[in-house]
A and B are shown apart, each in its own frame.
Chain A
Amino acid sequence: MKYLPLVLAGLLRKKPRTLLTLLSVAAAFALFGMLDAVRVAFTAPETATGIDRLIVSSRLSLTQTLPSSYLARIASVPGVAGVAHADWFGGIYQDPKNFFPNIAVSDNYLTLHPEYELPPAQQQAFLKTRTGAIVGAALAERFGWRLGDKIPLQGALYPNKDGTDRWLLDLVGIYRVGDAQLRGLERQLLFRYAYFDEGRTLGEGTVGWFTVRVADPRQADRVAQAIDRQFANSAFETTARSERDFQRSFAQQIGDIGLIVTAIMAAVFFTLLLLTGNTMAQAIRERIPELAVLKTIGFSNRAVLLLVMAESVTLLVLGGLAGLVMARLALPVISEATSGQLDVVMATRSWLLGGVLMVAIGLIVGLPPALKAMRLRIVDALAGR
């Protein structure tokens, strides 16, 4: 710790150069922070949540509905432990710009989706209130909603039987999603299918898709085939897929974002390596007489080596942290600008990976000049040889 002023003195010796280097390090890490968030957003969550669930939708298209009478028939397929269903409502809150997913769900939906963490009392209220709705904490914060608020949705796809397109919901619950990789679910609104189905003027008695819980995840494929077989050659054929496959196929439609992001980051960090490597080499070259003085005074070879390494790591960590903070501040803006459709947040993983990268690059970049400083022969350096 007492060497800190020495490390800082090294960095402050040429302030403009240090500042420029800090800026380029910060820019690289800001880019890293944002791109890594995008990568996380587009990577199918490798979370244990949902491995025991199937999604059963129309074989024709995602927008085609299925008869609600399928519920009992799916439930009777061996290996099925539970069935819930959901409909994409597509309602608008005040302005189309305020987009967020709002979904009409069956009463047992939360039982099959334990990732929605809702206090028991609010769960009770949801099941007791005909017009009840629950929203994720992120969405509630976005619009400043509190429990007891009335939320009017404009049924863009579904007019209401009362002759308007107004659906008035009562906010009875605010859930959280603990699993960081599923945090995007906190930007949804769920309300009750019963209220939806009795109010709508078209498509009564149908549902958007079923969520099925299988008793044994290892049997998921077999159960999925059995379900599809059940409805083969009917008017409404189905596709049953594991929830993971479903998300994966969705992600693949967008392309392998992860690979692209990794390639960009590799290029950025390679450039950063060359740039800071050059800066450090130059900085140490200019300071050879000073380093010789430190060694003259009695600083050991090891101390001089560590001093230069510490300087390099400090440079990278300061710039890197500034960059990640910049990314952290920019991401909500991006999220809002896309109305939460591109739900990018800084995952703990990004901070950790970023930290590891800072230290690693700092060490790599610092090592050559540090070795040079360590091997410096005092008498030669003092004589300018």
Chain B
Amino acid sequence: MDVPAPTPIGEPLVMIRGVSKVYTRGRERLEVLHGVDLDIPAGDFLALMGPSGSGKSTLLNMIAGLDVPSAGTLHVAGQRIDRLSETALARWRAANVGFVFQFYNLLPALSAQRNVELPLLLTRLSAARRRRNAAIALRLVGLADRAGHKPAELSGGQQQRVAIARAIVSDPTLLVCDEPTGDLDRHSAEEVLALLQRLNREHGKTMIMVTHDPKAAEFAKRVLHLDKGVLVEASEAPASGP
């Protein structure tokens, strides 16, 4: 899981061109994204910031293949994903994307180990391989000793680290995180951010993180701001933790 996904030379891992998203509720027409252009190279750690309701989650969801744009094109790892069917997108996500959410979203009845194994159920791996890979992922996030614990028996920070293990266990091309520290105290948040940074630096994982916390954004290599559906400013953040 140390090898970054192969991408055609000269082409960014994620290529977004003229992407718009329009929601219609009854007669009301709400344009959430206005022709967004964005390139994300392999190995990047991008933080998406912006006020609430600016369209951060909407953009992230489209990059992750959870939603499709109203207009524009979306290429990830050389594949165009904005025209895929729901079924095809599901298969594409299983192979290419790892997800980390604000509220961890672990299955409460399953142990940490079983939660991490979930994405592997969609692969052809044997039960023994699945168990082994999940154990490796748990060790990577520093929770090997909690494999048998249920989510309720773990702290918020630990649950989020289990969620990260689940996101990386199938070795995805891309890791997307929507407010991964939004529900954590400062200390746990820093642990989680440091872990994400390490996955990016040492394991070459391409990382896109939505956050409204400037301290969290400091862990990224690059910060972009969304305002009312437009990318307004790009700044190179100092690539260092506190």
| Chain A residues within CB distance 8 Å of chain B | 2-3, 5-6, 8-10, 12-13, 289-290, 292-301, 378-379, 382-383
Contacts and interface: CB of A to CB of B under 8 A. Distances in A.
Contacts of A382: 66, 101, 105, 178
Contacts of B109: 8-10, 12-13
Given A5-B114, A9-B114, A379-B61, A297 B127 contact: no
B67 A298 contact: no
Nearest to A2: B121
Contacts of B67: 378-379
Contact of A379 (B66, B92, B93): B66
B91 A300 contact: yes
Nearest to B98: A297
Given A2-B121, A9-B109, A12-B109, A301 B87 contact: yes
A290 B122 contact: no
Contacts of A379: 57-58, 61, 66-67
A290 B87 contact: no
A290 B107 CA distance: 6
Given A6-B110, A292-B105, 18 more contacts: A2-B127, A6-B118, A9-B114, A13-B108, A293-B99, A293-B101, A296-B99, A298-B91, A298-B93, A298-B119, A299-B90, A301-B86, A301-B90, A378-B66, A378-B67, A379-B58, A382-B105, A383-B57
Contacts of B91: 298, 300
B237 interface: no
Contacts of A290: 105, 107-108
Contact of B94 (A298, A378, A383): A298
Given A5-B114, A9-B110, A297 B119 contact: yes
B10 to A, nearest CB: 29
Interface in B16-72: 57-58, 61, 66-67
B107 A293 contact: yes
Interface in B80-102: 86-87, 90-95, 99, 101
A297 B95 CA distance: 9
Contacts of B86: 301
Nearest to A300: B90
B57 A299 contact: no
Across the A-B interface, the 3 shortest Cβ-Cβ residue pairs: A298-B94, A9-B109, A293-B105
B108 A297 contact: no
Contacts of A6: 107, 110, 118, 121
B99 A297 contact: yes
Interface in B134-178: 166, 178
A328 to B, nearest CB: 31
B66 A294 contact: no
B114 A289 contact: no
Contact of B107 (A9, A300, A301, A383): A9
Contacts of B90: 295, 298-301
25 contacts: A2-B121, A3-B121, A5-B110, A9-B107, A290-B107, A293-B105, A296-B93, A297-B93, A297-B99, A297-B118, A297-B119, A297-B122, A298-B92, A298-B93, A298-B94, A298-B122, A299-B94, A300-B90, A300-B91, A301-B86, A378-B66, A379-B57, A382-B66, A382-B101, A382-B105
A321 B108 CA distance: 28
A293 B106 CA distance: 8
Contacts of B61: 378-379
Nearest to A12: B109
Contacts of B114: 5, 9
Nearest to A292: B105
Nearest to B110: A9
Nearest to A3: B121
Contacts of B101: 293, 382
Which residue of B58, B66, B109 has the most chain A CB atoms within 10 A of its CB atom?
B109
